[in-house]
Chain A
Amino acid sequence: MENILKEFERDQKELIHILHRVQEEFGYVSPPAISAIAKHLKISENEIYSVLTFYKAFSLEPRGKHIVTVCMGTACHVRGAPRLVDDASREMGVDVGQTTPDKHFTLETVNCLGCCAIGPVVVVDGKYHSYVKRMDSIIKEYSEGR
C-alpha cells in the first residue's frame, strides 16, 4: 500500500487515481487502505467513503475470481440483454453486484462498452463475447475449478 501511495501527490485530485490503482491491485478497497489514503491525502475517511461509494468502479469487498459483466446499454437491451442478466443471476444464484459464496463469480452490469454493433455483449475478465444468446455456455466455460 505504501508503495502505491508513493506514486501520488498529496492532493485530493489524486484520490480517484489512487482508488483506481488500489482497486486494480487488490480487487477492492479495504478499510486499512482507506485509512492509509486518508493519511496520505490529509482528508477524512468519511470523504473517501463518500467518493468510493459514489462511483461504480470501486468495491468495498473482495470480488470473485471471474468478473462477468453483462452490458445493459440500450443497444444491448433491445437485443435481449435483460434475459442474459436474469439467466446469469439464476445460474449463479446471486443478484447483480454480488459475488457467489465460493468467490468464483461476481456478476456485474455496465451501461455500454462502446461495441453496440456486436451486441448483446458480455465481458468476462476483460474478454469480450459478442452476439451472446445464452449465458449457460459462458458460465460453464469459466466454471472450471469450482
Chain B
Amino acid sequence: MERINHPEELAVWKNEILAERIPSKKKIVISSGTCGQASGSLQIIDAVNQELAKKGLKDHVEVKVTGCHGFCQLEPNLIVYPEEIFYKTLQPQDVPQIVEKSILGNEIVSSLVFEDLKTAQKAIKQNDIPFYKKQERLLTENNLKINPTEIEDYIALDGYQALANALFNMTSEAVIAEIETAGLRGRGGGGFPSGRKWEICRKVESNIKYIICNADEGDPGAYMDRSLLEGNPHSVIEGMIIGAYAIGAQEGYIYVRMEYPLAVQHVNLALEQARKFGFLGESILGSEFAFEIHLIEGAGAFVSGEETSLIASIEGRRAFPSQRPPFPAQEGLWGKPTNVNNVETWANVPLILRKGADWYAKIGTRRSKGTKIFSLVGKINNTGLVEVPMGITLREIVYDIGGGIQDNKKFKAIQTGGPSGGCIPAEKLDLPVDYDTLAKAGSIMGSGGMIIMDEDTCMVDVARYFLHFTQEESCGKCVPCRIGTKQLVEILNRITEGNGEEEDLEKMEDLSKTIKTGSLCGLGQTAPNPVLTTLQYFRKEYESHIKSKTCIALVCKGLIAYTIDPDKCVGCLLCLKSCPVDAISGERKEVHVIDQDLCIKCGACLDVCPPKINAVSKVTGRKMARILKNASGKRV
C-alpha cells in the first residue's frame, strides 16, 4: 500500500486487509507487553514458532504478538482462535502440548486454562473469567486484536476512519461539540472537560499552536497509559490528530516516561507508519490539514507530569512548574497556545467520533462519562488492568473483578489517585467510582492507580511512604511544598520509629493546611492528602503508634521485635544461618536466641523458619517491651 490520499482509499485498504484474512484459520495470539516480556513471553513466542515450524504448520497458523490484555498476573499467556481458548501462566515446555491438542486437534489442555481459586471452576474463554466479566473494555479490548507494530491491524478495526470523517465531513467546531456532548473529562487526574479545554485553546488567536500527549504517568502503581501506548499506539495518535484539527495545531508532542522503553519503541514505529501512509505530515489523507508529532522521552522526574513543568521539560529546561494563569491554552510551549491531554483522554477521542457522542454519553454517570481504566494492584488476588464504566462501586472492583484479598487476609484500604490521592476504608467500599464521589471521600480518581492494602499494611507507614515520595519529588521552587513536606516526613518518621508525641497529629493537620493552600502547583496542593485521609479514617492506628507503641500491622521497624519461641524451636540452625548480621545464637538441637541489640529486623529468620515449626514471630507493643526488657535483664 502507498500513501492514502483520500478517505475512499482508506476504505479500500481496509477491505483489502480483511479480504486476506481467513476467519476459520487457526490463530495464536500471544500477549507481550512489558509485564508479559518480564514474565517470559518472548520465550513463549520462540517456542510457538519453533513448534509450528517443526510440525510444518507455519503457513497454516497465524501467530500474532500483541500488547497487554490486562490480566497481567496470568502472563505469559496465549489464546487459540477461533475457539478462543485462553492458556495462562505458560512455560515454554507447555507449548508442544497446546499445538498438539488445540492446533492440530480441537481439544483443550485443561491443566493450562484458568481455574477460579475459590470455586475451582474452569474458564475456557478469556471473557468467561470473572476478572473480565464486569469490565467494559472499550479502549483495551482492541489490544487483543492488534499487533502494535503493524498499522494494518489498526486499519482493519476501522482505524483512522474517525479522522477521515472529521477532516472531510466535520468542521473543527463540530468536532469539539461532539467531544463536549460526549462529556469526556480528562483522564490525567484533574477531570477537566476536554471539549471545553479544546474550545478555549481553539479560540486563542495565534498562527502557531501545539498539542501535547502527557504520557509521563508518574503515579506509582498506575500503568494504563503504558498499556495503551504499547498495545494500541495508533489510537492515541489518531486522537491527537483529530484534536489538532479541532484546535488548529500544527505540531504535537508525546512526552513518554523513560521507564517505558517498549512504549517508546512502539510509538516511534507507529509515528513512522502514520507518516508513511499519510496520516501525519502535509495534506493528511489528501485534505488541506497538515500536522506532525514528535516523541520526547522524559528523564525521571515526577513533577514533569504536571502540565506546565512538562512544557518546561520539552523546552529543554528543568521541569519547574509555573504559575497559572496564564494557562497553557493561552501561553504554553514556547509561549504559544498549547493543549495538554492525557494518553487515555486522547485514546477516547476516535472512539467517540466513531460511535457517536450520544452513545458514549450513555455510559457512566451523570457527570462522569465513559469508562476508566484502573490498575488493580497490591494485595489483591487478581492483579491487572481493568476497564470499567464510571459509576461502578469500589466493592465490585475489589471483590467481583479483583477476586478479593490475597491469602484470605482482611481488606484494610484502597489507595487511589497516587501521591495526590488518599486511602479509602472498608466502610466506603460501596461508593461509586467517579470524579466527584472520590473527591468527596477525600481522595481523587487520579490517573487510575488502585492499590489494595490488607491488614498487614500499616497506614502510618503508607502515609510516610507517600510523603517521602512527594518530598523527594518536590522541585523545590516554592517554600510551602519544599519545607512543609519535609517537616511532615520528619514527624511521620518519628511516629513510625516509636518516638511520636500526642501533639504530632494536630501539628500534621496544621502543616497540611499550609502546604495545601500555599503551594504553587498541584504537587504541593495535593501532597498532604495521603496524610489527611489516613488521619481521618485510620486515626486509631496513629494513636496506637504514639501511645501504646504498637504497630498492629507489624510493619514499622521501630515498633516491632523478632523473637523465637523456646517451646517451639527445634534448633535446626536455619534461621541462625540466614541471619545476615549473626544476631542469632544456639547449637544444633538447642533453642536459638535472637540478640535484640544486634537484630536489624530484616525478617530473614521468619522467612526461613519452616511453617510446621513456626517458632519465629514478630511482636509489637507490650509483648515487644517485655522481650526487650528480658533481653536487657539477661545482659545485666
Residues of A at the B interface (CB closer than 8 Å) are: 11-17, 19-20, 50-51, 54-58, 72-75, 77-79, 83, 86-87, 90-91, 110-119, 121, 126, 128, 130, 133-134
**Is the CB–CB distance between B316 and A12 below 8 Å?**
yes
A72 to B419 Cα, complex, angstroms: 13
Could you tell me if B39 and A56 are in contact, using CB atoms closer than 8 angstroms? no
Asked if B363 is an interface residue, CB under 8 A from chain A, the answer is: no
Question: Which one of B37, B226, B451 has the highest number of Cβ atoms from chain A below 10 Å of its Cβ?
Answer: B451
Within the complex, which residue of A19, A51, A83, A110 is in contact with B602, where a contact is CB–CB below 8 Å?
A83
B contact residues vs A (CB 8 Å cutoff): 34-35, 37-39, 72-73, 75, 217-223, 226-227, 258-261, 296-302, 313-319, 375, 377-379, 383-384, 415, 418, 449, 451, 453, 457, 462, 465-466, 469, 473, 475, 580, 600, 602-603, 607
Tell me whether B221 and A112 are in contact (CB under 8 A). Answer: yes
11 contacts between A and B (CB under 8 A): A15-B317, A16-B297, A20-B297, A54-B319, A75-B221, A87-B580, A112-B222, A114-B35, A117-B72, A118-B73, A126-B261
Cα A14 to Cα B313 with chains together (Å): 10
In the complex, chain B residues whose CB is within 8 Å of the CB of A119: 377
Could you say which residues of chain B place their CB within 8 Å of the CB of A114? Answer: 34-35, 217, 223, 226-227, 259-260
* B299 contact from A20, A78, A110, Cβ within 8 A: A20
CB–CB A16/B35 < 8 A: no
Known: A111-B469, A118-B38. A74 touches B449 (CB 8 A): yes
> Who on chain A is nearest to B223 by CB?
A114
Contacts of A121 in B (CB 8 A): 38
**Cα–Cα distance between A112 and B462 once the two chains are bound (Å):** 16
In the bound complex, do residue B221 and residue A74 qualify as a contact, i.e. CB atoms below 8 Å apart? yes
Q: Which residues of A contact B220 (CB under 8 A)?
A: 72-75, 77, 111-112
Q: Closest 10 interchain pairs by CB?
A: A73-B220, A128-B38, A117-B72, A56-B300, A114-B223, A55-B299, A112-B220, A15-B316, A75-B377, A117-B383
B221 lies within 8 A of A54 (CB): no
Total A-B pairs in contact (CB under 8 Å)? 141
Please indicate which of the listed interface residues A77, A83, A111 has the most CB atoms of chain B within 10 Å of its own CB: A111
Residues of chain A within 8 A of B72, CB atoms compared: 115, 117-118
Q: Which residues of B contact A19 (CB under 8 A)?
A: 299
Enumerate chain A residues within 8 angstroms of B313, measured Cβ to Cβ. Answer: 16
| 19 additional A-B residue pairs with CB within 8 Å, beyond A58-B299, A112-B223 | A12-B315, A15-B317, A16-B296, A20-B297, A56-B301, A73-B221, A74-B418, A75-B375, A86-B602, A90-B580, A110-B259, A111-B220, A111-B302, A112-B222, A114-B217, A114-B223, A115-B223, A116-B223, A118-B38
**A112 CA to B305 CA, complexed, in Å:** 14
Inter-chain contact A113/B314, CB cutoff 8 Å: no
> Which chain B residue lies CB-closest to A74?
B221
From known contacts A57-B299, A74-B465, A79-B378, infer whether A116 and B34 are also in contact, taking CB-CB under 8 Å.
Answer: no
CA of A116 to CA of B384, assembled, Å: 8
* A51-B34 contact, Cβ under 8 Å, with A75-B221, A78-B453, A114-B217: no
What's the minimum C-beta distance from A126 to chain B, rounded to whole angstroms? 8
- Closest Cβ–Cβ distance, residue A5 to chain B (whole Å): 14
Q: How many angstroms between the C-alpha atoms of A13 and B312 in the bound complex?
A: 9
> Complex Cα distance A72/B300, Å?
14
CB-contact partner of B383 in A54, A55, A83, A116, under 8 A: A116
Q: What separation, in Å, do the CA atoms of A20 and B457 have in the docked complex?
A: 38
Q: In the complex, A51→B317 CA distance in Å?
A: 6
Task: List the B side residues contacting A55 at CB < 8 Å.
Answer: 299-301, 318-319
Least CB separation from B262: chain A residue: A114
Q: How far is the CA of A87 from the CA of B579 in the complex (A)?
A: 11
Task: Give the residue name and chain of the A residue nearest to B318 (CB).
Answer: A54
**How many angstroms from the CA of A117 to the CA of B453 in the assembled complex?**
14
The residue that B451 contacts in the complex, of A15, A74, A83, with Cβ under 8 A, is A74
Q: Say whether B602 contacts A77, CB under 8 Å.
A: no
With A75-B451, A77-B465, A119-B377 already in contact, the answer to whether A112 and B35 are too (CB < 8 A) is no
Residues of A contacting B383 with CB < 8 Å?
A: 116-118
CA of A73 to CA of B451, assembled, Å: 10
Kindly report which residue of chain B lies nearest to residue A14, judged by CB atoms: B316
Q: How far is the CA of A118 from the CA of B343 in the complex (A)?
A: 23
Q: Is the CB of B259 within 8 A of A112?
A: yes
Shortest distance between the CB of B406 and any CB in chain A (Å): 9
Give complex CA distance A130, B298 in Å.
24
Q: Are A118 and B301 in contact, with the CB atoms below 8 A? A: no
A117 near B301 (CB under 8 angstroms)? no
Q: Are B602 and A75 closer than 8 Å at their CB atoms?
A: no
Contact of B301 among A54, A73, A86 (CB under 8 A): A54
How many Å lie between the Cα of A50 and that of B473 in the bound state? Answer: 15
